[in-house]
């Protein structure tokens, strides 16, 4: 697949010699970024914490689950936003909301795992359905499933409360901390996002991830050497669904509401845009894409008006930007970055010679 030929599988896996310092130098940008994010609440306002960085991390997590399937599995699944939405709806219906006629008000430690379980079951089932067909069919089938869920939430009033959705879905209070307030919520999101990032990196280098990438590149050959390609793909869907489900619950807690638009067709497509713009070659791409998207969404309106254009043409900007990336840098922003690094390195070598 053209979009994902920069997979991480080719990197050296074993660490020899002065392992720790090499690991440190190899990962210094990631570690620096992590440190920055941990220290951020000391400097940033609540708006930046929740609306910019919080949103970036949550959308990044959901995009990460799409990146995992598309980048390592070669399956562009558009159902990941729906998995997140289903988890969000589940925790609203099982837990607390402003609608006592629908919500069951179970404690969070029952509602959250159940919500994740429901969403993962759905994600796995959707995966099992679409993994039966090859390649480009996946997009069609998952897009149809995602739209089905959107129209269901729009039409159904008995469970999903139709067009209105739910408001006042608070994050719970546990361990003596009110997770609704900005800083604790930020750390909760940061923890989950960091964990899922590391998990995806780990799985991509574990035997399962390597086999999945093998199935992406040559399913027939993998089948011939004894791998059950179908099972690997469905397991990948299940793993991705866990990340998307956690992201969906955090999205509801962050947003304090959920409505059909949360997992609507537009949101589904935006998620694909995020993942592709960031780049499907490395897990960090999902977060980079989410950051660009959130920045654009937050500031593009004002910026467009400032240069004398109609602020409502935000979607055109998103669409054109997406087209430019797909047409000129199919491996996303990461690809641009990598090519730039390679060019810098080669020109340095040229000077040295």
Partner 1 sequence: MATALGDEGTARGARRGDALGRWINHHPLAALSLAVIVIFCLWLILAPWPQGFEDWFGRKRLFINALFNGITLGGLYFLVAAGFTLIFGLMRNVNLAHGSLYLFGGYMGYEAGVWTGSWLLSFVVAFLCCAIVGAAMQILIFRRMEGQDLRQTLVTLGLSIVFADLMVWVWGGNAIQIDTPDYLTGPVPTPIVVALKPSGDAIFLQYPRVRLVIFAAAVLIGIGMWLALHRTRIGMMIRAGVDDRDMLSVLGYRVQLLFVLVFAFGAGLAGMAGIVGGTFQSISLGEDSHFLLASLVVVIVGGMGSIPGAALGALIIGLSEQFGLVYFQNYATVATFVIMVVVLALRPQGLLGRR
Residue 17 has phi, psi (to 5 degrees) of 60, -135
How far apart are CB 308 and partner 1 at their closest, in Å? 16
Task: Compare residues 133 and 168 and give the one whose CB is closer to partner 1.
Answer: 133
What is the gyration radius of the CA atoms in the chain, in angstroms?
21
Task: Compare residues 43 and 327 and give the one whose CB is closer to partner 1.
Answer: 327
Choice from 76, 87, 222, 244 touching partner 1 (CB under 8 A): 76
Choices 31-39, 42-50, 134-142, 289-297; region in contact with partner 1 by CB under 8 A: 134-142
Q: For the segment 171-230, give every residue that binds partner 1 (CB under 8 A).
A: none
Is 147 a binder of partner 1 (CB under 8 A)? yes
Count the neighbouring beta carbons within 10 Å of the beta carbon of residue 6: 18
Choice from 117, 121, 129, 301 touching partner 1 (CB under 8 A): 129
User: Would you say the C-alpha torsion 240, 242, 248, 250 has a positive or negative sign?
Assistant: negative
Are 4 and 280 in contact, with CB atoms under 8 Å apart?
yes
Is 265 a binder of partner 1 (CB under 8 A)? yes
Q: For the segment 151-170, give every residue that binds partner 1 (CB under 8 A).
A: 151-152, 155-158
Strand, coil or helix: what is 32? helix
User: Would you say the C-alpha torsion 189, 204, 91, 158 has a positive or negative sign?
Assistant: positive
Choices 18-26, 50-58, 127-135, 173-181; region in contact with partner 1 by CB under 8 A: 127-135
Choice from 45, 133, 164, 168 touching partner 1 (CB under 8 A): 133
Choice from 19, 31, 140, 305 touching partner 1 (CB under 8 A): 140
User: Would you say the C-alpha torsion 150, 73, 120, 224 has a positive or negative sign?
Assistant: positive
Q: How far apart are CA 68 and CA 235, in angstroms?
A: 12
How far apart are CB 345 and partner 1 at their closest, in Å? 27
Is 38 a binder of partner 1 (CB under 8 A)? no
For 8, 271, 292, the CA distances from 322, given in Å and listed in that order, are: 24, 12, 11
Is 297 a binder of partner 1 (CB under 8 A)? no
Is 330 a binder of partner 1 (CB under 8 A)? yes
User: Would you say the C-alpha torsion 99, 105, 107, 113 has a positive or negative sign?
Assistant: negative
> Which of 242-277 are b and which e, b meaning 16 or more Cβ less than 10 Å from the residue's Cβ?
bbbbbbbbbbbbbbebbbbebbbbebbbbbbbbbbb
Strand, coil or helix: what is 258? strand
Task: Compare residues 21 and 158 and give the one whose CB is closer to partner 1.
Answer: 158
How far apart are CB 3 and partner 1 at their closest, in Å? 6
Binding site for partner 1 (CB under 8 A): 1-3, 76, 129-130, 132-133, 135-137, 139-141, 143-145, 147-148, 151-152, 155-158, 265, 269, 272-273, 276, 310, 312-316, 318-320, 322-323, 326-327, 330
């Amino acid at each position: 697949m053209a979009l994902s030929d920069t997979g991480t599988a080719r990197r050296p896996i074993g660490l020899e010699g002065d392992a720790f310092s090499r690991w440190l130098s190899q990962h210094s940008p990631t570690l620096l970024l992590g440190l920055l994010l941990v220290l951020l609440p000391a400097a940033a306002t609540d708006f930046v914490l929740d609306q910019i960085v919080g949103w970036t991390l949550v959308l990044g997590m959901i995009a990460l689950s799409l990146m995992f399937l598309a980048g390592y599995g070669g399956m562009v699944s558009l159902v990941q936003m729906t998995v997140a939405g289903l988890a969000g709806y589940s925790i609203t219906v099982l837990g607390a909301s402003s609608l006592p006629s629908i919500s069951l008000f179970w404690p969070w430690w029952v509602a959250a795992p159940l919500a994740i379980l429901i969403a993962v079951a759905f994600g796995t089932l959707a995966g099992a359905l679409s993994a039966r067909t090859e390649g480009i069919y996946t997009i069609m089938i998952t897009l149809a499933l995602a739209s089905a869920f959107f129209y269901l939430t729009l039409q159904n009033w008995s469970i999903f409360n139709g067009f209105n959705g739910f408001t006042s879905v608070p994050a719970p209070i546990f361990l003596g901390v009110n997770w609704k307030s900005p800083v604790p919520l930020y750390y909760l999101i940061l923890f989950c996002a960091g964990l899922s990032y590391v998990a995806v990196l780990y799985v991509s280098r574990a035997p399962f991830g390597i086999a999945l990438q093998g199935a992406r590149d040559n399913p027939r050959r993998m089948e011939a050497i004894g791998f059950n390609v179908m099972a690997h793909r469905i397991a990948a869907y299940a793993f991705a669904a866990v990340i998307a489900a956690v992201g969906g619950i955090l999205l509801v807690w962050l947003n304090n509401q959920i409505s059909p638009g949360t997992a609507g067709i537009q949101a589904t497509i935006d998620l694909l845009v995020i993942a592709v713009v960031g780049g499907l070659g490395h897990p960090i791409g999902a977060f980079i894409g989410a950051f660009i998207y959130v920045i654009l969404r937050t500031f593009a309106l004002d910026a467009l008006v400032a240069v004398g254009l109609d602020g409502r043409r935000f979607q055109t900007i998103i669409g054109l930007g997406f087209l430019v990336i797909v047409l000129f840098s199919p491996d996303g922003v990461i690809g641009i970055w990598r090519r730039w690094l390679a060019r810098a390195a080669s020109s340095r070598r040229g000077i040295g010679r």
